[in-house]
Structure 1
Amino acid sequence: MHAEIHGHRGARGLRPENTLPGFAHALELGVDALELDVALTADRRLVLTHDLTVSAVTSADTRPVRHGDPFFPYVGRPVGELTLAQLRTLECGVRLPRNPADRFAPTQVPVPGTRMPTLGAVLGLVDAYGADGVRLHVELKSDPTRPDLSADPREFTEMVIAELDRHHRLGRAAILSFDWRILDIARSLAPATQRYALIERATMDSAWLNGMRLEDFDGDIPAAAVAAGGTTLSPEHVLVEEQLVRQAEKAELPLAVWTVNEPERAAELLDLGVAGVVTDYPDRMRALWADRGMRVPVPVTSARRSVA
């Protein structure tokens, strides 16, 4: 069988998440796709961050962008209230776990001096590597229950698609979101680009599903995802069992499952027939793939790379 390895936020278990060093490391390990998170700044720039407020775990203040900046400190503020210049002062290369049991701190190699990148910078990095065979899976961070933190979904989607198109990447990318309004908008703007319908237990209500109710589909999540405009269903791995897999097969919808870090669980999911595994540890999945005699993604290297 063929199944893909998707590097979650680059390779979060190995290098700082959503950073150029993290994506470079994932490319050099070898993945089928790079998954990344995008939000919109106050000055309408697309930056990589998982959280709609600046995270104290992945970011640390260094200095204000100018003396007396009333927005400083920036950690804890909404990303949409800050400019790119303000966000670029943050240290994003050293994980600062609030919980001593943080599972990534022992395995993530810090890269001090790393800054929050733009989507354009990531696309430039991938181009510098010549990684034409690696897809970019761009998750648009949007919370329909928090419009105060979220960008307008149409403007946001238009900007992401325009940036991908500018880099000639629309055919080698996917739009991902838990906010299924974005899937519908992306379907109208770039119908040939893949769209991943993300879902977890916390987002199974109509606020997240573009007004749809799962009960109207007899609880059939894949059928709802197709109606929403999804071309792939991407559920949290705890939702995946035989019934969901069979429903996805009936809907002709591939399953890309997140976030799977234990090879034993990944093996169970492969046996169920999933099409892709999103992981913080691409190295572990590569070893599993090789043990099972499956095709392993080819590592990508480039003498022209830059990961500053």
Structure 2
Amino acid sequence: MASLDCAARQGSVPGVRVEIHGHRGARGLWPENTLPGLSRTMELGVHALEFDVALTADRRLVLTHDLTVSAVTSADRRPVVADDPDFPYVGKPINSLALAQLRTLDVGVRMPRHPADPFALTQVPVPDTRMPTLGAVLGLVNVYEAESVRLHVELKSDPTRPELTPDPRMFTELVVDELDRHGRLDNTAILSFDWRIIGHAADLAPATRRFALIELDTLHWHDGLGDDVPAAARDAGATTLSPEHVMVDESLMSQAAAAGLDVAVWTVNDTELGGRMLDLGVAGIVTDYPDRMRDLWQERGLELPAPVRPLRPVSV
């Protein structure tokens, strides 16, 4: 317990590196998993930029959180060709559509805009935004020369829905190859709820960080998990445990420390909750509102991530 007490105190010690991770860019502020949203999040300042990747029918890596085209984050505008039998595309599996079809969607306006969706109330729309490829994102980050920002690439995979999920090793290989092609393997983490991907990433890119994502609803994905989830994640190949915030308590933190894993908690959008997570000793907080966490970091005297210099003039 002594190591846990020490870790817990770090959340209030000035100069200790505790990280802010922008969730899907910054979903509460700008359209998620988009080039405009990722750009603005880097310019705001985060230690890590998290986004989701799925595989299309023509084996292209695109940014999207869902394995089917979401009616919340995507809107049909036109078919890619006249009389396309797949149109409309909203609601169709990502892996049944080609990149050209997905690129016709507008992913810059969150729908529907009503009080039941808190993000629709705070997110600035960017109409006529298109679904980007992983390669486009990596090119953008390289143009920004954003070496201070680590990329957190979540591979979307659901072993209970194999009809929507690519072969995990092939999927991991494609992502690792793209990261390597852009020179980003050394400053990236690979994330997944599907720990098969974590294991493949450990084989293919052993020097790259690997985050085992966990939540109460998907613990049943892992056979023989037992009572020590952090140890199981370590054995699966993880270097970091990334649990839903409702799972984080002193017991989990103690187990993670014993397993040699740090903890990055998601998704924390309230500064009071963020303070409690810091006091427990988490190494990172994943948030839809990096601006709020920056305020908390400043209050705590923690190291703030430097904003990345904008590529365009900024009006004052």
What is the match of residue 265 of structure 1? 273
Q: Choose the corresponding residue for 1:140, options 155, 158, 165.
A: 155
What is the match of residue 106 of structure 1? 121
Q: Give the TM-score taking structure 2 as reference length.
A: 0.93
Task: Return the offset for 1:2.
Answer: 2.3
What is the match of residue 121 of structure 1? 136
Task: Return the offset for 1:100.
Answer: 3.8
In the alignment of these two chains, the number of paired residues is: 298
After TM superposition, the structure 1 = structure 2 runs for residues 39-78 of structure 1, keeping only pairs within 5 Å, are 39-78=54-93
What secondary structure, in the 3-state scheme, does the structure 2 residue paired with 1:204 have? helix
- Whole-Å separation in 1 of the counterparts to 2:158 and 2:112: 24
- Whole-Å separation in 2 of the counterparts to 1:304 and 1:188: 40
Contact kept? 2:114, 2:121, Cα under 8 Å: no
> Gaps (5+ residues) in structure 1?
none
- Whole-Å separation in 2 of the counterparts to 1:171 and 1:304: 27
Runs of 4+ off more than 4 Å: none
Higher helix share: 2
- Whole-Å separation in 2 of the counterparts to 1:97 and 1:16: 13
Contact kept? 1:128, 1:302, Cα under 8 Å: no
What is the match of residue 284 of structure 1? 292
- Whole-Å separation in 2 of the counterparts to 1:241 and 1:43: 43
> Gaps (5+ residues) in structure 2?
1-15
What is the match of residue 305 of structure 2? 297
Task: Return the offset for 1:51.
Answer: 0.1
Q: Choose the corresponding residue for 1:89, options 89, 93, 104.
A: 104
- Whole-Å separation in 2 of the counterparts to 1:160 and 1:256: 22
- Whole-Å separation in 2 of the counterparts to 1:188 and 1:17: 30
Task: Return the offset for 1:202.
Answer: 1.0
- Whole-Å separation in 2 of the counterparts to 1:18 and 1:249: 32
2:221 pairs with 1:213? no
Contact kept? 1:129, 1:304, Cα under 8 Å: no
Task: Return the offset for 1:101.
Answer: 1.0
What secondary structure, in the 3-state scheme, does the structure 1 residue paired with 2:118 have? coil
What secondary structure, in the 3-state scheme, does the structure 1 residue paired with 2:142 have? helix
Sequence identity (%)? 69
- Whole-Å separation in 2 of the counterparts to 1:97 and 1:293: 39
CA offset digits 1:72-92 (Å, max 9, x no partner): 000000000000000000000
Task: Return the offset for 1:98.
Answer: 7.6
CA offset digits 1:166-199 (Å, max 9, x no partner): 0000000011000000011111111111000000
Contact kept? 2:114, 2:120, Cα under 8 Å: no
Query: Which amino acid is 1:13 matched to?
Result: G
Query: Quick one: higher RCO (CA 8 Å, sep 6+), 1 or 2?
Result: 2
After TM superposition, the structure 1 = structure 2 runs for residues 120-199 of structure 1, keeping only pairs within 5 Å, are 120-199=135-214
Query: Which amino acid is 2:237 matched to?
Result: G
Contact kept? 1:130, 1:302, Cα under 8 Å: no
Q: CA RMSD in A?
A: 1.1
Task: Return the offset for 1:20.
Answer: 0.4
